[in-house]
Amino acid sequence: MLTEEQTEKIKSQLLQQIDKFPAEQRESAKAQIETMSSDELEQFLIQNKLIKTKESEEEPEGCLFCSIIENKTPSYKIAENKAAIAILDINPLSKGHSLVIPKKHDSIEKSPNNVLSLAKKIAKKLKSKLKAQDIKIETSNIQGHGLVNVLPFYKDTKLEKKKASQEELQELQKKLATKTREKKKKIKKIEDLPLAPIRIP
């Protein structure tokens, strides 16, 4: 809830910005701002994302990477650890171009070390499975979410961003995905041991 003092201060800041508007828009906008109650002003600021609410700080609205982590947006996952997931870029610059996305919405600088260790693991896999000549690992922040690009380079192939087909991505996913190992059953009793065939000499 805005105090009366805050309301007045914000209104005067908005009115200063309105001075840049074309004359016909300026008058109606000015009248609208001057007649707003502090509640209406607060709603206006939230709607226009000019102030952060508690909810908007916790749940970044419309973050594509968060929705991939939550499985709300489909992706081609190839590996995962406690801190991040690795997926194939759907608009790759080269074959096998992958993204490592930290599970927590934060800048890459604040991400745990095992985010980068997953990127290095993917880089090794791209070299061995796709015979990439070189791999570049680049970090960035998009929509406030940290991101690691794992970019393979191939001999005589230029980097070119293009949309990959579903078939291409599925094929690469099969080739690169980390297979989850089946846990061996622990044998608790001698009776659980498989019976060996009886040999007659």
What ranges do the domains of the chain cover?
Answer: 4-51, 73-176
Long-range contacts of 1-8 (CB under 8 A, 24+ apart): 1/38, 1/39, 1/42, 2/38, 2/41, 2/42, 3/38, 4/38, 6/38, 7/38, 7/41
What does the block give as tokens for 10?
Answer: 């914000």
Interatomic CA distance for residues 87 and 98, integer angstroms: 6
Does the reported pTM lie above 0.95? Answer: no
In contact, 157 and 94? CB cutoff 8 Å = yes
Rounded to the nearest integer, the mean pLDDT of the chain is 80
- Mean pLDDT confidence for 175-190: 64
Interatomic CA distance for residues 139 and 101, integer angstroms: 10
The pLDDT value recorded for residue 101 is: 94
| pLDDT of 4 strictly over 70 | yes
In contact, 176 and 125? CB cutoff 8 Å = yes
Task: Read off φ and ψ for residue 102, nearest 5 degrees.
Answer: -60, 145
What is 73-176's CATH topology? HIT family, subunit A (3.30.428)
pLDDT tens-digit readout, 128-168? 999 999 999 999 988 888 999 999 999 888 888 888 889 99
Percent of the chain with pLDDT strictly greater than 70: 75
Which of 29 and 135 is assigned the larger pLDDT?
135
